[in-house]
Amino acid sequence: NTTHYREMFPLAYTVGTYWPTFDYYAFLTFWGIVALLAATAGLFLLPRQPYPEPKASPTSATTPLLRNSITQPEADSLNPTSPNDISLKEASLKIQLLSWPFVLFVVIWMQLAIRLNGYLDSNEDILRQYGDNGTMGHYFGYILPMSFLPCVLVGLLTDSVGSIHATGVINLTAVIVNLLTLIPSLKLQWVTIFFFVIFKSALFSLMFSFVAENFGFTSFGTLTAVISFFGGIGNYFIGGVALKLALKFNS
């Protein structure tokens, strides 16, 4: 209902109405994948900035539990990721929010959230367009709750290779889902559903693992809330584009 949508989401409706006239789905798919891959590459390639270390407390040098030997304070520097990891975890909330790892992960999360909700909303239409008579869509409703099954494997993956590498793997599954939906083969959509179940099971645990591993727990709630907020903003504006698509193809 166009009138209802305009009243409920006026800003999103405006964005969708004035979007240029070309193949929107191909445009969103292409640039969405570009943004997803570029942000993922940034996590791997961009050097970490030297975030300011907190001032040492007077008792820190005499606390034996913090180090094996207080006479060798440089021992932790043998781990190339340790100094930056610790400083970022102990940095202020402002520094954490403006850090490259956080900004890039927000971009990644926005793209992943759009793909999650976009596929859930359009799955039945895609299957119907490729010749499904409702059978595959019916089974999809039973298969989707089973996304809890890959959760253990995703957790083991994150613990084994770290959250940044796990992000790369999950992003790859999102790209595969996106590309497979463009191939007009009904049988191939079973493969799409398989990858989507893996992708869905990993999405939120990936966010929590990434924030905990890279930023610690001091601002854990705030950081995850900001990430979720921007994911919602992305889905809100994509609604305007979806409306424009519907108006275009129904006209």
Domain range annotation of the chain: 2-52+91-250
Tokens in use for 63? 């606390």
- Cα–Cα distance measured from residue 48 to residue 58, given in angstroms and rounded to the nearest whole number: 28
Q: What is the pTM of this model?
A: 0.70
- Cα–Cα distance measured from residue 105 to residue 39, given in angstroms and rounded to the nearest whole number: 7
Quick one: how far is CA 6 from the chain centroid?
A: 28
Residue 21 confidence (pLDDT)? 39
Among candidate residues 129, 120, 84, the one with its CA nearest the CA of residue 238: 120
Residue 23 confidence (pLDDT)? 47
Low-confidence ranges of the chain (pLDDT < 50): 1-2, 4-24, 56-86
pLDDT tens string 23-54? 445 556 666 777 788 888 888 887 665 555 55
- Cα–Cα distance measured from residue 249 to residue 200, given in angstroms and rounded to the nearest whole number: 29
Q: Which H helix or E strand runs over 211?
A: helix 188-215
